[in-house]
Amino acid sequence: TDTKRRDDVRGANIASARSVADAVRTSLGPRGMDKMISSGDQEVIITNDGATILSRMSLLQPAARMLAELSRSQDAAAGDGTTTVVVIAGALLRRAQSLLAAGAHPTAAADSLHRLAARAVQVLEGMAIPIELTDRDSLVKSASTALNSKVVSQYSGLLAPLAVDAALSVVDPAHPELLDLRDIRIIKKLGGTVDDTELVRGLIFDKKASHAAGGPSRIENAKIAVIQFQISPPKTDIEQSVIVSDYAQMDRILREERNYILGMVKKIKASGCNVLLIQKSILRDAVTELSLHYLAKAKILVVKDVERDEIEFITKTLNCLPIANIEHFREDKLGYADVVEEVSAGDGKIVKITGIRDMGRTATVLVRGSNQLVIDEADRSLHDALCVIRCLVNKRFLIAGGGAPEIEMSMQLAAWSKELHGMESYCIKEFADALEVIPYTLAENAGLNPIAIVTELRNRHAKGEKNTGINVRKGQITNILEENVVQPLLVSTSAISLACECVRMILKIDDIVTVR
């Protein structure tokens, strides 16, 4: 009876994890379906991204939650292939279930999985094609492959080169293998269509310039200051009230305030600055009506309420220093740009800074769309494309897509299992077959006949055509490299290793203890 309980727990874990995998299985590949996720507070998300789907699902079963974690770690490691990794894990679990039913010991299955993962990575590396970062076409191809399975796939001709240019403009020549995606800012603005998405060489603020007292809204040869102090009359540190008894005193207070602000504005004007970016302030209003009036008189364009976490990005882009105190306001801390102007975009206005001198290595992408759902999905898809380029920057190898690497791994691992002995050979043979789930699902989602397609794929690969995969567009089997369906090596290798790791963890659990 003791072993029965363990088998039950294991069975329940595997079943719940598999049901999660089956939930996202239909969204794999360019012909995959999308999921509509509606949360309790009436928020609706339409997405195809495995990590987004699973992170939004409220899973109660711990083993099912492990699969959600798995897709999140794939998102962190590679950024793309979040659906693939879950589907592979589900298939491995299914094979593990039949192995356990046949009397294999879980540890034996887990160990052979470990060996399998190591061997699979070698097979993948054997198929990989080295690539240079200067080879822009290959980068665009792999980015558009990542975009093909998304809702916005018809725009991949526009978004893929855009993602590549954004990524390449941020790569620092001094450290060519580092690409920090935080240097690429994605700003979403309602209105227009996804076609109007553009890469801006410069900065964009998703707010309008303050128009108090007819301040300017376009400035050429701008000198830009990023300030972190307040242009408003000082407040006392403690809560107290000043009691004014007659009008003369009141006039004096107002005059003092005016002079105080005027003095600040004069200092700012003296340094030649004509654009102010003011950080949001917690303590008191960063600017008052009065100070805005004086700044407008001095012909200074003001953008107020700049978020605190954007300051670093802005100073890096403008190549200037943030100014924390009016006394430190010197010309050498300013940034220079050709044009700062307010342009109308969709329903609102945005402030655009272009032609920045000595611009830092950052990029801004303005994403447009006809409704919020499309914009959010375009943002997620763009993030995936950027992640793919980041993978290629880290590890400069490409590999064919379209189910080709999975079939190749499956074939080679099955051949390898014949050289092994005993239980291990049997386990590895089973798990190797499991990898066929990717081409099978691709074919199934495209409405082809999965069994015929996978059999034909095996046949082609057995003849030594390594890069043959499923061409979903034409519904037949072709050399997938010639069709420009490529993905970074890192996506496939990390998917295999993470999936095996996760399945091993699930196999090794033999009891669930709930603690109050």
State how far the alpha carbon of 470 is from the alpha carbons of 400, 423, 458, in Å.
11, 33, 11
119 HSE (CA, 13 A, CB side): 20
Q: What is the dihedral of CA 304, 308, 310, 311, to 10 degrees?
A: 80
List the structure tokens of 173: 């020549």
Active site residue 82: yes
Active site residue 455: no
Select from 328, 320, 214 the least CA-distant residue to 271.
328
Active site residue 137: no
Q: Which residues contact 263 (CB under 8 A, 6 or more apart)?
A: none
Q: Are 314 and 362 in contact (CB under 8 A)?
A: no
Active site residue 478: no
Catalytic residue among 80, 317, 384, 493: 384
Whole-angstrom distance, CA of residue 372 vs CA of residue 44: 10
Whole-angstrom distance, CA of residue 470 vs CA of residue 462: 15
- 486 φ, ψ (degrees, to nearest 5): -130, 155
List the structure tokens of 300: 């200074």
Q: Are 171 and 133 in contact (CB under 8 A)?
A: yes
Q: Are 334 and 320 in contact (CB under 8 A)?
A: yes
Select from 22, 15, 21 the least CA-distant residue to 100.
15
Catalytic residue among 47, 52, 83, 493: 83
For residue 363, list its beta bridge partners. Answer: 184
Catalytic residue among 47, 49, 315, 493: 49
Whole-angstrom distance, CA of residue 71 vs CA of residue 67: 6
List the structure tokens of 14: 């595997």
List the structure tokens of 280: 């949001």
Q: Which residues contact 485 (CB under 8 A, 6 or more apart)?
A: 141, 145, 148, 400, 401, 402, 469, 471
Q: What is the dihedral of CA 471, 475, 478, 484, to 10 degrees?
A: -30
Whole-angstrom distance, CA of residue 332 vs CA of residue 90: 59
Catalytic residue among 47, 52, 75, 82: 82
For residue 36, list its beta bridge partners. Answer: 46
Assign 211 to helix, strand or coil.
coil
In sequence order, which ranges of 171-320 are alpha helices (DSSP H)?
A: 247-270, 289-297, 311-318
Whole-angstrom distance, CA of residue 512 vs CA of residue 516: 13
Q: Are 51 and 34 in contact (CB under 8 A)?
A: no
183 HSE (CA, 13 A, CB side): 21
DSSP annotation of 325 reads: S
Active-site amino acid positions: 49, 82-83, 384
